[in-house]
Every structure is written in structure tokens, then in C-alpha cells.
Chain A
Amino acid sequence: MCLAVPGRVVSIANVDETLMAEVDFGTVRKQVCVEYVPDVKIGEYVVVHVGFAIQRLDEQSAQQTLTNFEQLGILEEEFGDGFSRAARHAGVDDPRGAGR
């Protein structure tokens, strides 16, 4: 379920007393109902499912998530326990004993 796609709000208008936006999906644009994200501003991103914006996309949050991914493993490499990690990779018990 949920083929929902992110897009950028380009313009907002009242159509038949319904809040609609033109949303840019990169190179394709579509009319989307934004009644469920009524405070959305032009330039913001929304998640669109069957012609409706169901949530605003938080840009900062997205950036943070990507940064987290990039930093994964870096801290462990610097500070983590080399023996147990190596043992795990080799598929054997930590040579220093159980519980590690």
C-alpha cells in the first residue's frame, strides 16, 4: 500500500472551496489536494498519495537521517571494541571469553 511520493508545492489555490496545490515531482507536475496540510507553504515538500498530500516532509529531519547514515559505524570504529567486532565478522566467539 502507500505508493506515496514526495513533491514540492509550487502554487496553492482554492478550487471549489477546496485547497489544491500544484506539486512538482521533479520533472512532472500534478494537481494535489492539500486540505490535510492546510498550513503548507510554497516551496515546502509534501508526501502525496492518490492525489492527496498526507503529510508534510520535514527537510531538516531528512537531512539529519541522511547524516546519521553517513556517520554510522564511524563512532564504533573509533571507540568500539575491535576484538568482538572482528570475532563477529569471522563468525567465531570472542577469544577473550563469553559475554562480550
Chain B
Amino acid sequence: MTEAIEHTNDLDFEGWVCPVPLRDTPFIVMGHGGGGAMSAELIEHLFLPAYGAAATADLGDSAVLSVGGSTLAFSTDSFVVKPMFFPGGSIGDLAVNGTVNDLAMSGAVPLFMSTAYILQEGTGLEELGRIAQQVGAAALVAGVKLVTGDTKVVDRGSGDGVYINTAGIGVIPHGVDINPRRAGVGDAVLVSGDLGVHGVAVMSCREGLEFGTTIESDTAALHGLVAAMLAACGDLHVLRDPTRGGLAASLNEIARASKVGIELVEQDIPVPQMVRDACGLLGLDPLQVANEGKLVAIVPADQADLVLQAMQAHPLGRAACRIGTCVPDHRGMVVAKTAMGGTRVVDLPIGEQLPRIC
């Protein structure tokens, strides 16, 4: 059961000035983990104030730090996916690739990773073994060393099988400065391939939502692709892997951080037919569905072709294409031109994506 939040002297709930005061929902709800607006709020209005002076400005899922003469990227992510095994992968693959990709989105070469497990009492050792094997295999492919870890067990009934947290460190090459505040008016918006694949793969085996599809998760480590892109253009402005919340979440965050508007051409956004069909069936927006092996890149307009060529030459970027432009209008918002010629706002998803009947 849930307990009320204890109000400490340092947290002034009354003083929160934000469009959606968290005090009205005194519990954590599933939406807080969805990667959308609610998650962002939890960080901005609960964690950051609570951390006080100890926190740096951001608390994004990847940090860029100067240590000695080097620039390091440090990132962490937790994996709570259900089902643990899905077409194309498992929680093990996601755990490694997710953190590797967070590092890669800063332009870092991922080097070392920790793995911490929270296991529910009663979890099958065989299942755990399979997951661990996939962690090892994914780490090998990604070129990271698994150097430290931890294991905890919780009571049957608390927790849901296996939760994995990974934290990773990488080195950012000199001169590389990739962060979400660098998108500029006129920049081109690129994606590395088909969208919505992972989310649909996972949803297709959820209880009550099963549907026949052979779609497999696109989980993959992207640092090789990023390296190829950096070789073509030393001045990539923004990179982001559109995981929870999909393309919509990532682009909205970038638009806000960089204070630009983003204009997409709906017909240019690559959504495979299978994803369209599954989303059509469930009433979901493919732009809000998670991806685990794709990236969004925002690059200077005159570099767009070069970068695209480099992406298309890489196995993970064959279907890379341009989907839009950064504009001086509607700063902070993402808008798409529809096939009909109208426009619509591409919104930050609220919480969890739920299938609908309407």
C-alpha cells in the first residue's frame, strides 16, 4: 500500500509553481515512469529541489563531466520491462544497449558498465541465467567491459521478476560537444531508421493485447553509428535515442531545451507498415512508441547530406532519412505538416501509452 509523502522542512509543496502541481497526486503513478511529461516533472519538482545544492542543473539520463583533462560521459538507466523476453531481445539486451546508447548520444565511446540486479524471490535461475548471458553478449558487441555489480533480492510479491540497473562511463573525444541545447534554427532533423518497432514488439506479447506480428525489437548499440557520423561531420549538434515516449518525447525535449521550433513532414517520417497497422489496431500514435536501436540527429543544414550518407553506409542506419527542420516559429513545440496539407502539434506524451477504443 502507498504511504503519504512525508513533508520535510526542505520541501515546500505549497510553493511549487508549475502547471500541474504534483501535490494533487500524492502517489507515484505509472505515468511517472513513462518518459513523458510526468517523468520530467517528477525530476524538476521533486528530485531536484530535494537534492538541493548537491545536484547539478540537469539530472538528464546522461551527464558530461570534466575530470582531469578528459571529458567523460556518465549515464544510468533502470530496466523494468515486462515481459522480460520479447521478440528480438530481452531485458538483458535493453539493459546494456540502453546505457551504451545514452553514452553514445553525448558522442562518447562507451568503456565500462556496472550491473545491479533487484530480483524477486522465486525468480527462476534458468531465466536469470539467460538474461545474464544476453547481458554479456550485448556488452561484448558494444565493446564495454562489465566491471562491477550488485544483487539484491526482494520478497515474492514486491517487484516483478527481474529489475536491472546499469550505469556506464565513456570518454568523449576532444572537440565533440553534443547536447540537447545545441539545436539551431535551420538545422536538419534526421532519424536513423524505422520508428515504433520496439514498442510494438513488446506490446504484442502483453496480456490482453496479444496480436500476431513477427515484428522484433530493434534493440541495438548505436555508438558505432555515432562514430561513423562524427567522422563525416565533427559538428553534430544534438543526438537522442527516442526510447520511452518515442520520437515525440525526444523532439519535444530538444525543442524546449534549445528553444527552437521543430517542423516535421509527416510523410517523410519512416514508420513501417507493421507498426502502422498495430498502432491503428490499438489506437496508438507511432510517434509516441518506444525505439531501442534508433537515433534522432540534429545537424547543420549544410552537413545533412554528408551525415545521411555516413548513416546509410552503416548497418544500423540503412534507412536513415531527413524528417524535418528546426524553425524560429512556435519555439519549444513540435509541429507536423500532414499529408492533407494541414498542420498538427506533435505532443509530449502524457504518461503510459494505452490502447484505446475510441
A touches B in complex, CB < 8 A: yes
Which residues of A does B touch, CB under 8 Å?
Answer: 1-3, 5, 22, 25-30, 48-50
Name 17 A/B residue pairs within 8 A (Cβ), A-sorted: A1-B358, A2-B357, A3-B356, A26-B273, A26-B274, A27-B213, A27-B272, A27-B273, A27-B277, A27-B278, A28-B204, A28-B211, A28-B213, A29-B212, A30-B212, A48-B281, A50-B357
B186 within 8 A of A: no
Q: Which residues of A contact B357 (CB under 8 A)?
A: 1-3, 49-50
Contact yes or no, A3 B283, CB < 8 A: yes
Output the residue of B211, B280, B281 with the most chain A CB within 10 A: B281
Output the residue of A5, A27, A48 with the most chain B CB within 10 A: A27
Q: Which of B279-294 contact A (CB under 8 A)?
A: 280-281, 283
Write the chain A residue with the least CB distance to B213: A28
Shortest distance in angstroms between B145's beta carbon and chain A's nearest beta carbon?
40
Contacts known (A1-B357, A2-B358, A3-B358); A26 close to B283, Cβ less than 8 A: no
Q: Which residues of B contact A49 (CB under 8 A)?
A: 357
Contacts known (A3-B283, A22-B212); A28 close to B278, Cβ less than 8 A: yes
Q: Which of B290-335 contact A (CB under 8 A)?
A: none
Picked from A1, A2, A5, the residue with its CB within 8 Å of the CB of B281 is A5
Chain B 202-227 near chain A by CB (<8 Å), digits 1 or 0: 00100000111101000000000000
Shortest distance in angstroms between A8's beta carbon and chain B's nearest beta carbon?
12
Output the residue of A1, A27, A28, A30 with the most chain B CB within 10 A: A28
Q: Which residues of B contact A50 (CB under 8 A)?
A: 357
Shortest distance in angstroms between B335's beta carbon and chain A's nearest beta carbon?
24
Shortest distance in angstroms between A97's beta carbon and chain B's nearest beta carbon?
36
Q: Which residues of B contact A5 (CB under 8 A)?
A: 280-281
Measured in the bound complex, the distance between the Cα atoms of B213 and A89 in whole Å is 49
Picked from B204, B215, B272, B281, the residue with its CB within 8 Å of the CB of A25 is B281
Contact yes or no, A30 B211, CB < 8 A: yes
Shortest Cβ-Cβ A-B pairs, 10 listed = A29-B212, A27-B274, A26-B277, A30-B211, A28-B277, A28-B213, A3-B283, A25-B277, A28-B278, A27-B277
Picked from B274, B283, B356, B358, the residue with its CB within 8 Å of the CB of A28 is B274
Write the chain B residue with the least CB distance to A7: B281
Measured in the bound complex, the distance between the Cα atoms of B277 and A28 in whole Å is 6
Shortest distance in angstroms between B146's beta carbon and chain A's nearest beta carbon?
37
Q: Which residues of B contact A1 (CB under 8 A)?
A: 357-358
